[in-house]
Structure 1
Amino acid sequence: MQMDKQRYAVITGANGGIGRALCSAFNDEGYQVIALDRQETPHSDLVYKKYIVLNLFDYIQNEKYAADKNLEITAVLSQNQLHCLVNNAAIQVLGGVTSLTRADWNTTLAVNLQAPFFLTQALLPQLENTKGSVVNISSIHAKLSKPNFVAYATSKAALSGMTKAMALDLGERVRVNAIEPAAIATDMLKAGFSGKPEQYQQLKDYHPSKTIGEPNEVARLAVFLASEQSHFIHGSCIDISGGISSCLHDPD
């Protein structure tokens, strides 16, 4: 795509399955992708203009580290042309009421909730310059969860709530939306079902669509939310769940 001005997208958690799909989709749409991830080395098939190592827990705990990383990110931007920040990175610490520790909570909330807020705050001048947008990758766990997901579900519910609150606070300056996926066929999900084809099929069948979502479905939705075609979508948390979020299961 040919453009008069370069558009930039900052994407966290870039090395993951959804992260790589996000980077590819934004690149295909003509964005210059600034990929952020805590891993020192980018994935072999990651598409990006600039790769920056960013540990989001350290970003929240250490103000100097955060300031240095903010400068590293903004130094890449050409004429402050940041059109989208995608807060995709997340950590999933499993545990219930009797087992979760303070460290579990601190890490989960730092990465899944505080980091999206403070990254948005840090990049707000650049986003305002283009009337850009923020896309937060939340989760179906914001609304529907299961045992041992207490910290993760709480953080995602808060992220979706924060999305709505930030949209009201920022008004016309920057649009803010969230995507709430259910099961997505990432390498991590597939690895969890390695050698268990029947259980993987059961997971598919549990969704009314009889399918599991693909990372590029989440990515294409994020690209749309960042585009001018979605100028009236603001403060929305969009379900992408194969219908499972509308499904009530009674005992057999």
Structure 2
Amino acid sequence: MKQKSILITGVLGGIGSSIAKMFKENGYFVYGLDIREEQADFVDKLIVFDLHKYCSDEQYRNEFVLYFNDHILSLDVLVNNAAVQLLDKLDDLKLENWQETLNVNLTGPLLLSQLFLSRLEQAQGCIINIGSIHQQLTKPRFISYATSKSALIGLTKALAVDLEGRVRINAISPAAIQTDMLLAGFDGNEEALNQLRMLHPVQRIGYPNDVAKLVLFLASENSGFIHGANLSLDGGISSVLKDL
């Protein structure tokens, strides 16, 4: 029986690495894309890759199209996980930050889905986009990020309709997940982090493994009727109306 394969963008991050470990444990060959180059035993083939440059530099994109066509001959699962979160109020928002956010969080997933479509279709595979609670509920300074994640969910639904039964595509929108990026935002303020935990009805924030388990489920044949969905993974926080 042929070994299944998965491609994960942002594979060295907290969520990406958990997804890679989960699929490797379940017998998949793991391709990982990341802007960084680090030793990672949970990735079978790590490819150093700049998703922003892939979207904005035609020569770079053409070089990687040839590379992917030569080195990834078949693919069962594409996980568009890589993201940037550049925060600014509207007064200070820089066009280059806006464009980088849209490239990495939205245009990149579109172009990779397009590139690997025929391989995924041949494998009766699927695409899974990692969204965010910010597609529905957001905060000040998250203009670029929230817009990109809202559009990613829109793209997921539009592609599901467009692809019909060729390739399944779904999204997962996590709330707060305990990653280095999240913890850096709290700058060691454990009290504030604990307040965030208590805001969630489950009384904790999510773990990267929570996301990985849901990705594995969506990739399984048992979820074959789930198509064009955006699954909320939020510990119940989107149901909370908090009194002042």
Question: TM-score normalised to the size of structure 1?
Answer: 0.93
State the Cα distance separating 1:73 from its structure 2 match.
2.7
The one of 47, 62, 67 equivalent to 2:62 is 67
Matches within 5 A, 1:65-104: 65-77=60-72, 80-104=73-97
**1:136 paired to 2:129:** yes
Residue type at the aligned position of 1:9: I
The one of 44, 48, 65 equivalent to 1:49 is 44
Residue type at the aligned position of 1:103: E
Residue 27 of structure 1 contacts residue 33 of structure 1 at CA under 8 Å; is this kept in 2? yes
Moved more, 55-64 or 186-195: 186-195
State the Cα distance separating 1:10 from its structure 2 match.
0.5
**1:155 paired to 2:148:** yes
State the Cα distance separating 1:247 from its structure 2 match.
1.1
Once the two structures are superposed, what CA deviation does each residue of 1:56-107 show, in whole Å capped at 9, x if it has no partner? Answer: 1110011221122233233333xx4311000000000101221112111111
Residue type at the aligned position of 1:90: A
State the Cα distance separating 1:48 from its structure 2 match.
1.0
Residue type at the aligned position of 1:30: G
**1:37 paired to 2:34:** yes
Aligned twin of 1:223: 216
The one of 14, 17, 31 equivalent to 2:14 is 17
Count the aligned residue pairs.
244
Separation in structure 1 between the aligned mates of residue 240 and residue 41 of structure 2, nearest angstrom = 35
Aligned twin of 1:6: 3
The one of 22, 26, 32 equivalent to 2:23 is 26
SS at match of 1:52: strand
Once the two structures are superposed, what CA deviation does each residue of 1:182-202 show, in whole Å capped at 9, x if it has no partner? Answer: 000112222333432211111
Separation in structure 2 between the aligned mates of residue 117 and residue 194 of structure 1, nearest angstrom = 33
Separation in structure 2 between the aligned mates of residue 195 and residue 21 of structure 1, nearest angstrom = 23
Unaligned 5+ segments in structure 2 are none
Unaligned 5+ segments in structure 1 are none
Percent identity, aligned pairs only?
A: 48
Question: TM-score normalised to the size of structure 2?
Answer: 0.96
The one of 196, 207, 221 equivalent to 1:203 is 196
Once the two structures are superposed, what CA deviation does each residue of 1:169-218 show, in whole Å capped at 9, x if it has no partner? Answer: 00100001000000001122223334322111111001111011000110
Separation in structure 1 between the aligned mates of residue 95 and residue 179 of structure 2, nearest angstrom = 29
